[in-house]
Amino acid sequence: MTFPATFLLWLMAFSCHARLHPHRYGFSPLAHHARYMAITGRIAAPVAALALAARLNGVTGVLIWFASLSIAGLCMALWLASRHR
């Protein structure tokens, strides 16, 4: 159960990062308050994922955190690349 939760939190962090760079990724610009929410999500999601993984599984949880980081990053990159075709 740790992996799906950390995976979704990493996807949230990567999507917030993509929304903070609208011209690079082809999104419409964010409103001022939405920009602060995206910055908060980009910071809070990985921290929450790490805290969840480390608390539930210890050192194995940290390894799960890194694995979910890698897989979520690849999934987000594939999705962003498929949008530009």
pTM of the model: 0.90
Q: Which pLDDT does position 25 carry in this prediction?
A: 86
Q: Give the list of residues 6+ apart from residue 30 with CB closer than 8 angstroms, or none.
A: 19, 20, 22, 38
Q: If the chain, 85 residues long, is cut into consecutive pieces of 10 residues, what is the mean pLDDT of each piece?
A: 95 95 89 95 96 94 96 94 78
User: How far apart are alpha carbons 2 and 5 in whole angstroms?
Assistant: 5
User: How far apart are alpha carbons 57 and 61 in whole angstroms?
Assistant: 4
Q: Which pLDDT does position 85 carry in this prediction?
A: 60
Angle 58-64-70 from CA coordinates, rounded to 5°: 150
